[in-house]
C-alpha cells in the first residue's frame, strides 16, 4: 500500500529526501502522460521520414535505421543519389548483408560534374531503380539518400516522385535524406527532422576521416 506523503512529512525531510520525493512525483506524472500517449497511438502504417537541414548526420541517421531493420530480419533497399563513392564503410558493411540491396547511383556532387543534362540523365536512371523498390512490398525499408537534391534542382518530376511515394506498399517505410527538402515532400512526410549545422570539423580544415565520415 502506497504511503500518503503529507505536507508535514515533506517539511521534515532533508534537502536530498525532498529532491528525491519531488523527482518521483514528476516522473509518476510524466509516465502517466507517456503511457496515455502510447495507448492512443495504436495505428500501424509504413512511415515516410525526411531528414534534412545543413548539419552532419542525415545519411548516418538513415543508415542507423538500416541496421535496426536488418536486426529485425527485414529487407532493406538503399539508393544513394548524387554520391558516387563506392569505398565507404557503410556500403562495405551493409552490402555484405543478405537482406540489404545497395545501389550507388550518382556521378558525384554537382560542383564536380558541372553538367546538368548528364546529372538529369543519371538521376532518372537512378529513380528507375528506386521505383522498383518503392513498388515492391518485399522491401520493408527503403532509403533514398540525397533524393532532396534531385527535387530541389528539378532533375526529377516532383509530382512523379511524390505520387510514387504516396502509392508505395502500405507497410513500407521510407527515409529520404538531403538538404533543402521541398515543401511538398515535407508535407507528405509523417516525420520531418531538420539537423542544424552548429559546428563542423571541416570548417577547421580537418578532412573527412575513415570510419567516422567515410
32 and 72 share a domain? no
Question: How high is the pLDDT of residue 113?
Answer: 65
Looking at the structure, tell me whether residues 31 and 55 fall in a common domain: no
pLDDT for 1 equals 47
Q: Which residue segment(s) compose the domain that 24 sits in? A: 7-40
User: DSSP letters of the chain?
Assistant: -PPPPPHHHHHTS-HHHHHHHHHHHHHHHHHHHHHHHHHH-------EEEEESSSTTHHHHHHHHHHHHHHTT--EEEEE-S------HHHHHHTTSTTEEEEE--SS-HHHH--HHHHHHHHHHHHHHHHHHHT-TT-SEEEEETHHHHHHTTSS-HHHHHHHHHTS-TT-EEEEE-SS--HHHHHH-SEEEE---S--GGGGTPPP-TTTT-
Same domain, 25 and 89: no
Statement to judge: residues 117 and 14 lie in one domain: no
Residues 105 and 178 in one domain: yes
Q: Provide the residue count of the chain.
A: 214
Question: Which pLDDT does position 111 carry in this prediction?
Answer: 54
- pLDDT tens per residue, range 131-181: 999 999 999 999 999 999 999 999 999 999 999 999 999 999 999 999 999
CATH code of residue 73: 3.40.50.300
54 and 108 together in one domain: yes
Listed as ranges, residues in the chain with pLDDT below 50 are 1
Do residue 177 and residue 78 come from a single domain? yes
Domain contains 123: yes
- Alpha carbon distance 141, 119 (integer Å): 26
- Looking at the structure, do residues 118 and 147 belong to the same domain, yes or no? yes
69/30 same-domain check? no
Contact 163, 137 (CB under 8 A): no
pTM of the model as a whole: 0.82
Amino acid at each position: 500500500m502506497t504511503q500518503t506523503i503529507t505536507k508535514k512529512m515533506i517539511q521534515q525531510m532533508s534537502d536530498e529526501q525532498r529532491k528525491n520525493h519531488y523527482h518521483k512525483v514528476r516522473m509518476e506524472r510524466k509516465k502517466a502522460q507517456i503511457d496515455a500517449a502510447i495507448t492512443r497511438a495504436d495505428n500501424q502504417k509504413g512511415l515516410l521520414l525526411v531528414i534534412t537541414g545543413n548539419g552532419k548526420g542525415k545519411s548516418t541517421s538513415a543508415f542507423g535505421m538500416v541496421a535496426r531493420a536488418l536486426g529485425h530480419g527485414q529487407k532493406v533497399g538503399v539508393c544513394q543519389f548524387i554520391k558516387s563513392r563506392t569505398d565507404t564503410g557503410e556500403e562495405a558493411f551493409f552490402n555484405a548483408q543478405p537482406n540489404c540491396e545497395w545501389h550507388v547511383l550518382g556521378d558525384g556532387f554537382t560542383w564536380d560534374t558541372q553538367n546538368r543534362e548528364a546529372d538529369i540523365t543519371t538521376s532518372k536512371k537512378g529513380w528507375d531503380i528506386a521505383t522498383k523498390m518503392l513498388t515492391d512490398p518485399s522491401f520493408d525499408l527503403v532509403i533514398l539518400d540525397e533524393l532532396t537534391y534531385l527535387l530541389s534542382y528539378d532533375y526529377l518530376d516532383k509530382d512523379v516522385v511524390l505520387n510514387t511515394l504516396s502509392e508505395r506498399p502500405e507497410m513500407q517505410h521510407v527515409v529520404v535524406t538531403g538538404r533543402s527538402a521541398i515543401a511538398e515532400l515535407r508535407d507528405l512526410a509523417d516525420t520531418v527532422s531538420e539537423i542544424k549545422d552548429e559546428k563542423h570539423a571541416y570548417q577547421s580544415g580537418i578532412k573527412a576521416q575513415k570510419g567516422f565520415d567515410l
